[in-house]
Every structure is written in C-alpha cells, then in structure tokens.
Amino acid sequence: MNKEEIQRQYSPRQWSHRMSADDVVNAHVKVITAGTERARGLAQTLLNVPYGEGDGEKLDVYIPSTTSLDVPLVICIHGGYWQFLSKEEFGFMAVPLIHKGVVLVAVDYDIAPKGNMDLMVSQVRKSVVSVIQQYSHISGLYLCGHSAGAHLAAMILSTDWSQYNVTPQIKGAFLVSGIYDILPILSTTVNEPLKMTEEVAVRNSPSNLVPQLKISSSSCHIVVAVAQHDSPEFRKQSEQYCKALEAAGLNVTMEDVPNTDHFDVIEKMIDGDYRLTKLLLKMMGKD
C-alpha cells in the first residue's frame, strides 16, 4: 500500500456506512457523552479517583446498589487514537452493567502530545494494580477497550506483572475494533502528536507480545470484536490477532458485528440487549 492508502485504511471515520467522516465523529462524541451523563445519574459514582501521582492518572467508578458479594468489575479504556477523548465520555457502558450488579471503572491516561506511547501503556497497567488493591473483594476483573483503548487493553494482557508485586486475575477481555500492530501508524498523520519511532511501535504492539501472555486459557476469555464497516486493515488486524491468540492456546472468540461501523460498534454497549453487551454479561455470569 502507498502512503495515501495506509492513511485511508487507518482513518476509521472514512468507512462509516451511516454518515460523513466529520459527522460520524461528532455524533460519536455526542452519543457517548450523553450516555455517560445518563450513567452518572443512575449509579453511585466516585469521580476523579487518583491511581497515580500524575494529573492524568485518574479514574471514575460507577457502583451498583447491590448487597451481593458476587460483584464483577469492568475496567474500561477509552479510544480516540491515543490523542482524543477521555474517561469523561466513557462511562456510558455502566448503564446496562449497574442494573446487573457490575462495577464499571473508566480510566484516564495522558493522551498525546502530553503523553507518549510508553507512558500510556505504563499508566493503564498502573490503573489495574490500583483497582485490584482498592477493590480486593470483587468476584472477577474484566477489561474492555475500544479502538486505541483495545490496543491498551491488549497491552495490559501482555504485562509482566512480576515487577508490580501483584498478579491480577483477569477473567475476561473485550477488545473492540482495536489495533494490535501499530507499526503502520508510523506513516500516518496519527503519529504526528505521538512521535513514535519504529522501536517504540514494535515494543508496544500486542501482536508481537502474544508469546509472553501470562494468562491461562482456562481462566481468561478474550473477545476480539470488529465492526462490519471497519476498514479492511482494521478488520485484518483483529482477525490476525485473534488467530495468534488462538495459536497460542488461549480462549479467544472472534465477533464480527453486522451493521456497525467503528463508532456505533461500541456506542451500542449502552443497550443491555445489544449483542456485545449480552456477551459481556454472559461472560460474567450476569445474563
């Protein structure tokens, strides 16, 4: 592929079947912001809880009103190509989850240009450590990430936890419309604020780290989801990453979601009857 085609393939807004490139992004921000406001009206919340020393190292907790001891917790990592959006728009998934007694934690990290790729990966890993230290009584820890957030969630799965003095028992991961080999990004405008070198991209590409995944196939179920109207390259990335996980003997399911694009494939997780929401609830035994 020439540079123009790579740029087009890695511009999700160009592939929506519903609306124009600019409209689909504006609509996405509007929908998930409104959804997060709705979630904050429904749940008990702890907002801007620090998980580290940095200004960007904060998380929001959405707590169901339940007396049950069987409380699973989902850590959500927002997308936005590592340079856009925040936890402020990513609490919307709490809407169907809190009704089922599930805690949702939306994580912030320092997006570019303030943050670089190594820092962002380090921050989301640190957020997991903080969550399991603060919520040691949870019945299961699950990850969910969209787009760049799916990349960061996959990097969490690839963590060598020995340096953190904890080993999170991650029971499931939902990776939605993610990028798992970030080398192609180097030749696109996406990399302008990120300023990644090839070396940085290689060490932060989950596809290169599958051999060192420390999770066991029996305890963690990974769902790799992709939208029907994601670009061919995004779709290929999900398929190849799924195959690599499968080849490594991990418990992985590929979900090709019909009639969705890169944006509404995650937006629809505000709906309890949506295919991916039902799959997540079933994974947690909350269907």
As a whole number of angstroms, the distance between CA 262 and CA 284 comes to 25
List the domain boundaries for the chain: 3-283
Note if 55 is an active site residue.
no
The amino acid that residue 60 corresponds to is: D
| Alpha-carbon span 206 to 231, nearest angstrom | 19
**Block residue for tokens 């927002």:** 78
End-to-end Cα distance, the chain: 44
CA atoms within 13 A on the CB side of 190: 25
For the question of residue 230 being annotated catalytic, the response is yes
The DSSP output letter for 185 is G
One of 147, 158, 177, 207 is an active-site residue; which one?
147
What kind of fold does domain 3-283 have according to CATH? Rossmann fold (3.40.50)
- Cβ proximity of 124 and 152 under 8 Å: yes
28, 146, 151, 262: the active-site residue: 262
pLDDT tens track, the chain, 287 positions: 899 999 999 999 999 999 999 999 999 999 999 999 999 999 999 999 999 999 999 999 999 987 677 799 999 999 999 999 999 999 999 999 999 999 999 999 999 999 999 999 999 999 999 999 998 788 899 999 999 999 999 999 999 888 888 888 899 999 999 999 999 999 999 999 999 999 999 999 999 999 877 665 568 999 999 999 999 999 999 999 999 999 999 999 999 999 999 999 999 999 999 999 999 999 999 88
List 60, 108, 181, 230, catalytic entry:
230
What is the Rg, in whole angstroms, of the alpha carbon atoms belonging to the chain? 17
Pairwise CA distance, residues 223 & 170, whole Å: 13
* Helices first, then strands: H and E counts in the chain: 11, 8
What pLDDT shows up at residue 261?
97
**Dihedrals phi, psi of 234, to nearest 5 degrees:** -60, -45
137 is an active site residue: no
Question: Buried b vs exposed e over 20-50: b needs ≥16 C-beta within 10 Å?
Answer: eeeebbebbeebbbebbeebbeebebeeebe
